[in-house]
Amino acid sequence: MKIAISGKGGVGKTTLAGCLARYLADQGQVVLAIDADPDSNLPSAIGVPPERLAEVQPLAQIKELVAERTGAQPGSFGGMFKLNPKVDDIPDTYSIMHKGIKLLTLGTVPLGGGGCLCPEGTLLRVLMKHLMVRPGETVIVDMEAGLEHLARGSTENMNAFVVVVEPGQRSIQTAHQVRRLATDLGVRQVYVVGNKVADPSDRELIEQGVSPMPVLGHIGLLPSVREADKQGVSPYDLDEGLRTQIAAIYQALLQVAA
């Protein structure tokens, strides 16, 4: 499955992406986790220890890579560069491995020129397209907040689009915007995961608010998630209850996406 996780800023996209990646790797799946948020923190959510974070190289910021593959310097606009750069070796060469998860960080693409007519934007787009059709690999993409990535087409060929919602109207509104855009782009299924759910009324608020989107499940408002952040570890390693909730969410996804 190729799973994109989106939603308003701060709702818990990265927490869900990291824990789901850990869960699927534990299940024996070959997992590629992609950090597509310029404000990258998926490595920590997966549990990459702080001293290894320096190994994480955001692809768009690797000048030699962008230059070598596209034939143009990153940040240049309007010049000539290859529109079909070679990308198939990038996941193995530029990812780091942790707990059986291959992790790639995309980095920041300059927004000028429409955000995509630059060499690094092109490289990332071609790479994402390639990753979405590689067989035998589960892909989890931690999206940036906002909706630009949808417009950019980097989410084509995803077969599960998950929006994280917290109990509150703002993230519910964002979920509806994501659904509208995703529908326009031909993504058929958009699913919701509730997060920071403290009680049954929170759950109800989310389920009514996001209707008719199917809700895969909920994650509680958990002290362990904050504690994990303080310790620089994955919440997945601290909280068995959280692991159970993640497992249930994945089972629900299998049911609906099958």
Ligand X SMILES: Nc1ncnc2c1ncn2[C@@H]1O[C@H](COP(=O)(O)OP(=O)(O)O)[C@@H](O)[C@H]1O
> Does 221 sit near ligand X (CB under 6 A)?
yes
Residue 200's H or E segment, with its range, is helix 200-210
Quick one: which of 14, 122, 138, 234 contacts ligand X (CB under 6 A)? 14
For residue 212, is the peptide bond before it cis, meaning its omega torsion is within 30 degrees of 0?
Answer: yes
> Least distance from C-beta 95 to ligand X, angstroms?
20
- The only residue of 225, 238, 246, 253 in contact with ligand X, by rule CB under 6 A: 225
> How is residue 235 written in tokens?
């919440």
With contacts defined by CB under 5 A, name the span among 14-22, 71-79, 195-203, 246-254 that binds Mg ion.
Answer: 14-22
Stretch that binds ligand X, among 50-58, 122-130, 175-183, 216-224 (CB under 6 A): 216-224
Q: Contact letters (x/-) for Mg ion, 30-69, by CB under 5 A?
A: -------x--------------------------------
Q: Report if residue 248 touches ligand X, rule: CB under 6 A.
A: no
Beta bridge partners of 197: 220
User: Are 38 and 107 within 8 A, CB to CB?
Assistant: yes
Closer CB to ligand X, 120 or 239, in the complex? 239
Residue at token pair 């209707």: 211
Among 2, 4, 12, 76, binds ligand X (CB under 6 A): 12
The CA-CA-CA angle for residues 44, 107, 85, to 5°, reads: 130
Q: With CA atoms as reference, report the closest residue to 106 among 50, 5, 34.
A: 34
Of 3, 5, 6, 14, which one interacts with Mg ion (CB under 5 A)?
Answer: 14
Question: Distance (Å, rounded) from C-alpha 89 to C-alpha 93?
Answer: 6
Nearer to ligand X, 7 or 119 (CB): 7
Binder to ligand X among 196, 206, 234, 238 (CB under 6 A)?
196
Cα-to-chain-centroid distance, residue 69: 24
Phi, psi of 6 (to 5 degrees): -130, -175
Roughly how many angstroms between the first and final C-alpha of the chain, as a whole number?
Answer: 10
15-74 positions binding ligand X, by CB under 6 A: 15
Which residues form the interface with ligand X (CB under 6 A)? 7, 9-15, 195-196, 219, 221-222, 225-226, 229
